Structure 1
């Protein structure tokens, strides 16, 4: 990206920041109930905008900022829920697990990627994938339970596995 374009975007974002940062932080505080989280998410919203190649023409800048912030908030909540479930599963293990902060971070990032992958699959594809991979059912068993052919099960599982391969390549 041209340095002049980047500087122009930075100035536009700086203007938006000055005009709307306080409002955005208040808007987020009303949704999180936490000043620190609201401040972090407001900052992350503007940081996200800095990664844009071109800033769109904003007729409703607050709506645009709220849309970005809402997505970041959803990501934060999803991460907390997933991390809490992981910690509960870890605590339920018979022997205590000593995991370094780096390993913990990598596990959470992997779980988030898997969660996003599963979320991106169609309902039927996700269901078939989980039945085969987690429940250990055969293609025939899955087909019977869902009332579909083995070929359909294979096709859906193929789609899911392709997504897994693409995730591993990223």
Structure 2
């Protein structure tokens, strides 16, 4: 790493030029796949593109590793969600199975919901899903989660607020 990179204002172009190759090698070593490393590296720089922190960046490689790790976590979560969805579809009678277009749309919706609920505590997420997907009353949820009804009300309210803020932030 040159002194010029750490002392001058870092631009996306200089960051990419100086560290893209290094990031791909690091990711290839971590993932044992050059193909996945290329995808993660590209997604990492896409995320960095909108980041205002570049101007004060002191340790570009550490910053890129942090962003790349978050991209990897998101990829692993999406893959796990897709696998669970496909396993569920395999259990359905073929006559009831959705079309390929419907499957893609449903999978995108599931991934959006997963992203939207990310950051909620386990009980908050579970209370919200039990309320919204299974239609359980707050009393039933309280029994299932072994908490008070007032706690369930707080969990669901927090989850609704979280989802509304997510939608506002992402223009949904």
TM-score range for the pair, normalised by the shorter chain length: 0.7 to 0.9
In the TM superposition, 1:147-162 aligns within 5 A as: 147-162=146-161
Q: After TM superposition, where is structure 1 displaced by more than 6 Å over at least 4 residues in a row?
A: none
Question: Residue 100 of structure 1 corresponds to which residue in structure 2?
Answer: 100
Structure 1: distance between partners of 2:87 and 2:145: 31
Structure 2: distance between partners of 1:79 and 1:150: 33
Question: Residue 35 of structure 1 corresponds to which residue in structure 2?
Answer: 34
Question: Residue 56 of structure 1 corresponds to which residue in structure 2?
Answer: 55
Secondary structure of the structure 1 residue equivalent to 2:54: coil
RMSD, aligned α-carbons: 2.6
Structure 2: distance between partners of 1:18 and 1:47: 14
5+ unaligned residues in a row in structure 2: which ranges? 1-8
Question: Residue 137 of structure 2 corresponds to which residue in structure 1?
Answer: 138
Give the Å deviation of 1:105.
Answer: 3.4
Give the Å deviation of 1:35.
Answer: 0.5
Aligned length: 160
Question: Residue 115 of structure 2 corresponds to which residue in structure 1?
Answer: 116
Give the Å deviation of 1:85.
Answer: 0.8
Taking structure 2 as the reference length, the TM-score comes to: 0.76
Structure 2: distance between partners of 1:51 and 1:140: 44
Which range moves more in the overlay, 23-32 or 124-133?
A: 124-133
Taking structure 1 as the reference length, the TM-score comes to: 0.76
